[in-house]
Structure 1
């Protein structure tokens, strides 16, 4: 991001075991083709966020992904008051104040149920890609209830439903509804206030978005910027403000 707040480059890479390796790959990809950026030393300020933020040695500062998602969403759409953030490892409900700061949040990081990894495992059970699995759920006539909250037990339940000749689309819809209900429980702890949006990779799952809208009873606002980039975007905005404050301070002291 430049000092005017324009996004100059971005990247999304699959996380590796080593956060430092992942961050190096991601930033190298994001810098491609940007004049004047050849290494991390060329940045005015760099913020690490997410689970591996303390393992990014070239970052000037670390800020939690909760704050970064909140800021990223706020600068994308200031009308948003509640965020459903569903990533690969956890799900969060985040309530924002008028300035985009975190007012309240609730988080599930102890169990894979309801996360992107859970949905990937369910898609693999049907030998489908996640986008194919999501699209199939939209064709359901009547969602089949999935009672198991545990990823392992839910997989066994799904296999049992397939053996009973239940419609794959109806099962897929039931899986998305079960995740949606888990998300709403999380949101209620944080406080649900419109407008509501989704961030994280699961925001691209149209089947999950549809299920959430049915449970909520109203539409979820779609973001104009890739929802999977919200954490990175928020980190950039925090970094941009740091540089602007430093510049203003230097000018005032002259």
Structure 2
């Protein structure tokens, strides 16, 4: 059985395939102007990798801002619910998850695999994820390479400055 998780966010669409034991595939695409078009691109890429979202041995869950656009999803869940389940599995227990997205930032407390509390900031500079994407573009680096590069560097503080001012 394959389990496909699709998170179509405001700036990036993340897809992961889990076979019940381990992650067997994952990829990230830019969301672009149309979540529906992005959902179609994801389906095409999954098919090209040998994963049939319509088969009896595959279950697909969609989340994120564009979750409604994934018409082939078996189930649609909120980001907060998905963070609770996924975070609990990754943390092997309770903890706090920080999601820095393209339009907002969420802090989620997870207990027993359930998101029990969360705070969300969607005001100016909440889209620090978009800021990071813009800075990657300015540096000529693919956003998917940033994590590896960050591990080699020194920690810095990202201020609450507007991305427009920081870019200049």
TM-score above 0.5: yes
Distance apart, 1:96 and its partner CA: 0.4
Distance apart, 1:101 and its partner CA: 0.5
TM-score, normalisation: structure 2: 0.67
Structure 1 counterpart of 2:20: 5
Distance apart, 1:95 and its partner CA: 0.3
Structure 1 counterpart of 2:39: 23
Structure 2 counterpart of 1:93: 107
Higher alpha-carbon Rg = 1
After TM superposition, the structure 1 = structure 2 runs for residues 164-243 of structure 1, keeping only pairs within 5 Å, are: none
Q: Post-superposition, which runs of at least 4 consecutive aligned residues in structure 1 deviate over 4 A?
A: 145-148
**CA separation of 1:84 and 1:151: change in aligned 2, threshold 3 A:** same
When structure 1 is superposed on structure 2, of 19-28 and 5-14 the one drifting more is 5-14
Asked whether 1:150 is paired with 2:166, we answer: no
Distance apart, 1:47 and its partner CA: 2.1
Q: Which of 63, 67, 88 in structure 2 is aligned with 1:49?
A: 63
1:153-204 CA distance string (max 9 Å, x none): 3345xxxxxxxxxxxxxxxxxxxxxxxxxxxxxxxxxxxxxxxxxxxxxxxx
Q: Say how many residue pairs are matched.
A: 148
TM-score, normalisation: structure 1: 0.48
Distance apart, 1:58 and its partner CA: 1.8
8 Å contact kept, 2:93–2:113? no
1:204-235 CA distance string (max 9 Å, x none): xxxxxxxxxxxxxxxxxxxxxxxxxxxxxxxx
More strand as a share of residues: 2
Distance apart, 1:85 and its partner CA: 1.2
Which runs of no fewer than 5 residues in structure 1 stay unpaired? 157-254
More helix as a share of residues: 1
Structure 1 counterpart of 2:96: 82
